[in-house]
Amino acid sequence: RVSRDVQPHDSVVNIGNVPVGGQDFVVMAGPCSVESEPQLLSVAERVKTHGARVLRGGAFKPRTSPYDFQGMGIEGLKLLKKASELTGMPTVSEVMEISQVDAVCEYIDCLQIGARNMQNYGLLKAVGETGKPVLLKRGLSATIEECLLAAEYIVDAGNPNVILCERGIRTYETATRNTLDLNAVAFMKQRSHLPVLVDPSHGTGVRELVTPLSRAAAAVGADGIIVESHLNPSEALSDGHQALTGDMFAQLMQELTPFVQAA
Ligand code: PEP
Ligand code: MN
């Protein structure tokens, strides 16, 4: 059960050697999509240098248009594994379908369930049966209760290693891509013992807003953030407008120092 009523203390989920929940404020970073070996390795080295603990990168991409880049698939997973070995950072990557679960488990340390699949109950059960850490992103229009019940599916399948992620919800607002619901972070931390992450990249869709909302995430009590970074955002094959440049990522980590060090 994910409720604090049944477990008062915070759960800690270990992604490789990185504990998420409890003490540390963990920064996960990397490109939206794995695009090539040089692209991934260069950004991985860069974010690692500035203090990222977990490497993110999509190999199977849930794109709104079927005509947009769909990800490198298994080749992308292999590149993530290589980047992990070179940098020492464990990895998180999205699994979109039950048929991809085994491959993602083979190469990746934490399985991401994307917002569009938060209520794909068959997929939730399948990742629940793996026992691997799962990063569960809140659906685009899901209530907090629905998100917690989605987590319950994974836990009920035998896997307690669930990390919740607020990534913004759809509202009437159009100035930003989504509306980052910081209420949900505070609420989920009170209601559930699971670690809660914030994704300020998808939450805002605007690179200039990622750093201020990252500070807000830390202030509201999130256990960490997952952010998109690209060393050449104008060339990115997905989500370039919300990717932090290397310099912006360095600045972000600088501003998070009080939270990361207090941990
Ligand atoms: C992503 O992390 O690149 C992603 C597609 O996220 P979401 O499922 O939150 O849209
Ligand atoms: Mn993205």
DSSP 3-state assignment of 187?
helix
Q: Which homologous superfamily does the CATH classification assign to the domain defined by 13-262?
A: Aldolase class I (3.20.20.70)
Dihedral (CA of 107, 113, 116, 122) sign: positive
Ligand lying nearest the CA atom of residue 64: 1
pLDDT recorded at residue 260: 86
In angstroms and rounded to an integer, the radius of gyration of the C-alpha atoms of the chain is 17
Q: What is the pLDDT of residue 263?
A: 56
Looking at residue 262, its pLDDT comes to 63
- Cβ atoms < 10 Å from Cβ of 157: 16
Asked if 170 contacts 197 with a C-beta cutoff of 8 angstroms, the reply is no
Q: Which residues pair with 19 in a beta bridge?
A: 14
Q: How many residues does the chain have?
A: 263
If one residue of 28, 94, 113, 181 were mutated to test the ligand 1 pocket, choosing by the most ligand atoms within 8 A of its CB, it would be 94
Tens-binned pLDDT, residue by residue, of the chain (263 aa): 999 999 999 999 999 999 999 889 999 999 999 999 999 999 999 999 999 999 999 999 999 999 999 999 999 999 999 999 999 999 999 999 999 999 999 999 999 999 999 999 999 999 999 999 999 999 999 999 999 999 999 999 999 999 999 999 999 999 999 999 999 999 999 999 999 999 999 999 999 999 999 999 999 999 999 999 999 999 999 999 999 999 999 999 999 999 987 65
* Closest ligand 1 atom number to CA of residue 61: 5
Distance from the alpha carbon of residue 21 to the mean position of ligand 1, in angstroms: 21
Ligand nearest to the CA of 56: 1
Q: Can you give the pLDDT at residue 134?
A: 99
226, β-bridge pairs: 28
Q: Residue 88 — φ and ψ, nearest 5°?
A: 85, 0
Taking the CA of 113 as reference, the closest ligand is 1
The ranges assigned to domains in the chain are 13-262
Question: Can you tell me whether residue 39 is helix, strand or coil?
Answer: helix
Ligand 1 pocket, CB under 6 A: 32, 58, 62, 114-116, 137, 167, 199, 202
Query: pLDDT tens, 191-238?
Result: 999 999 999 999 999 999 999 999 999 999 999 999 999 999 999 999
State the greatest distance between any 2 C-alpha atoms of the chain, in Å, as a whole number: 48
| Nearest protein Cα to ligand 1, atom 4 | 114
Closest-CA residue, ligand 1 atom 1, reads: 32
Torsion angle, CA of 180/184/186/191, rounded to 10 degrees?
Answer: -160
Residue bearing the CA closest to ligand 1, atom 3:
32
**Spatial separation of the C-alpha atoms in residues 129 and 11, rounded to whole Å:** 19
**% of the chain surpassing 70 pLDDT:** 99
CA angle at 166 for the pair 39 and 232, rounded to the nearest 5°: 20
CA distance readout (Å), 50 to 166, 196, 200:
24, 22, 18
Specify whether the CB–CB gap between 53 and 27 falls below 8 A: yes
| Cα gap 28→50, rounded to integer Å | 11
